[in-house]
Structures are given as structure tokens and as C-alpha cells.
A and B are shown apart, each in its own frame.
Chain A
Amino acid sequence: LAKTTQPVSMDSYEGQEVNITCSHNNIATNDYITWYQQFPSQGPRFIIQGYKTKVTNEVASLFIPADRKSSTLSLPRVSLSDTAVYYCLVGDPRLKTSYDKVIFGPGTSLSVIP
């Protein structure tokens, strides 16, 4: 199981771009990288998933270098409503038993300041 390491917390002002980096040095060949967002008093919500290079959707971008030992979640022009905990997960979603080993770490608590 690929372990992930993220900063515990980050602060940012409104309107700034926020980059959250996740380290996963022992990522396996078939592993994908998935990011979830969790607001207070809610369940986690899928943000983005990728395997290599760059993935972009309406919410965020995910940058993955060639060695795939880390990944960076980029949130453009954050607002107060982006204050949440962001989790980085690594695993092979094609394996039928992959999710019995999925572990949500402590995540990164992002605070957006007015």
C-alpha cells in the first residue's frame, strides 16, 4: 500500500492559487492518485483523479511528475468556500479488493482567509 504524506495545514488569502503537494514515494505501477475534499459536517467528495502528467477539471488541476512519486493539487483563485480538508489517496481502482486497503490520512486542512 502506497503511503501518502501531505502538509497538515495551509492558509491562503482569497483569490490566490493554492497548491497542495502529496508525497507517495512507493507508488505502484498500476496506482492512480485521487483527491477528495471534505467540508465540515459533510462526507468527503471526489475532486480529481489522475495517473500521470496533468489532469484538469472544472474544480482543480492535478500535476503528476514523470516519476509519479508526488502529485500537486492546484486550486485556482480560492474563495472562502474552499476552506476544507483535502485528502490524497493512492491505489489501483481496478482491483476489486483495492478499497479494503484504502486509507484516508489526516489530510491537509486548508483555511482561506478574507
Chain B
Amino acid sequence: DAGVIQSPRHEVTEMGQEVTLRCKPISGHNSLFWYRQTMMRGLELLIYFNNNVPIDDSGMPEDRFSAKMPNASFSTLKIQPSEPRDSAVYFCASSLESQSYQETQYFGPGTRLLVL
């Protein structure tokens, strides 16, 4: 299994530009999570999908952020327009939601975003 795949691994852009981060969850997993990590705020949950449906996006910072999951094998997190304070590492994670309590999240390698 390739694990959770994220692209790009690094992104440098200028303020005001649109940024799109991509995630491919582990095959068979039905839950997908987007996190943001910074030194100041730690690891924050932005949005959580279950069976491709957004369950709670209350962690999304503001309207400039949007996330989609058009199918079970692909999700995007878009920032438009981007701002320097959006600079962070963005992680995608997936898990298999079932009746079992072993709902472990598997994280991708992250996308390191720098907005100049």
C-alpha cells in the first residue's frame, strides 16, 4: 500500500494567488481529514469527510479556504486568495470508519506551503 499521497510536497507562491493541495487517501478508507500545522498553533483539524461528504468544516479558517472530495480516491484543499499567514504544513489523513474502535488515522507526508 502506498499510503496517503499528497501533492505537491512543497509549494511557494505569492500572496493573492490560488493554491490547490491534493490528496489521495488509502484505498478502501472512507474518512478523510485535512489538517494544518504551524509552530504557533500546532496541528489543527480543518475539515473531515466521511464517504465523500463533508461532516464538519468548522475548522476551516475562513471563506478563502474550500475543500472538495469528488470521489473516494481524491480530495482537494483550495486557498483563494492565499495570504502569508496561510504558510504552514498541510496534512491529509485517512481512516476506515467501522464499528471497530480501531479507527486509526494514517497521515500523508504533508505539503509545505510558503506564501510570500
Q: List A48-96 residues whose CB lies under 8 Å from chain B.
A: 49, 51, 87, 93-94, 96
Expressed in whole angstroms, the Cα–Cα distance for A97 and B50 within the complex equals: 9
Q: Determine if A93 and B102 form an interchain contact, defined as CB atoms under 8 angstroms apart.
A: yes
Q: Which of B43, B91, B108 has its CB near the most chain A CB atoms (within 10 A)? A: B43
Residues of A within 8 A of B48 (CB): 99-100
**A32-B101, A46-B104, A104-B43 known; A99-B31 Cβ under 8 A:** yes
Give the nearest-CB partner of B98 in chain A: A94
Residues of B within 8 A of A45 (CB): 107
Expressed in whole angstroms, the Cα–Cα distance for A96 and B58 within the complex equals: 16
Q: Determine if B106 and A46 form an interchain contact, defined as CB atoms under 8 angstroms apart.
A: yes
| B42 on the A face (CB < 8 A) | yes
Nearest CB of chain B from residue A90's CB, rounded to whole Å: 13
Digitize B1-35: 1 where CB-to-A-CB distance is under 8 Å, 0 elsewhere: 00010000000000000000000000000010101
| A29 on the B face (CB < 8 A) | no
Nearest CB of chain B from residue A4's CB, rounded to whole Å: 12
| B93 on the A face (CB < 8 A) | yes
Q: Determine if B107 and A44 form an interchain contact, defined as CB atoms under 8 angstroms apart.
A: yes
Q: Determine if A94 and B99 form an interchain contact, defined as CB atoms under 8 angstroms apart.
A: yes
| B81 on the A face (CB < 8 A) | no
Q: Determine if A43 and B55 form an interchain contact, defined as CB atoms under 8 angstroms apart.
A: no
Expressed in whole angstroms, the Cα–Cα distance for A30 and B93 within the complex equals: 23
User: Out of B33, B42, B110, which one reaches A99, CB within 8 Å?
Assistant: B33
Residues of B within 8 A of A51 (CB): 101
Residues of A within 8 A of B102 (CB): 49, 93
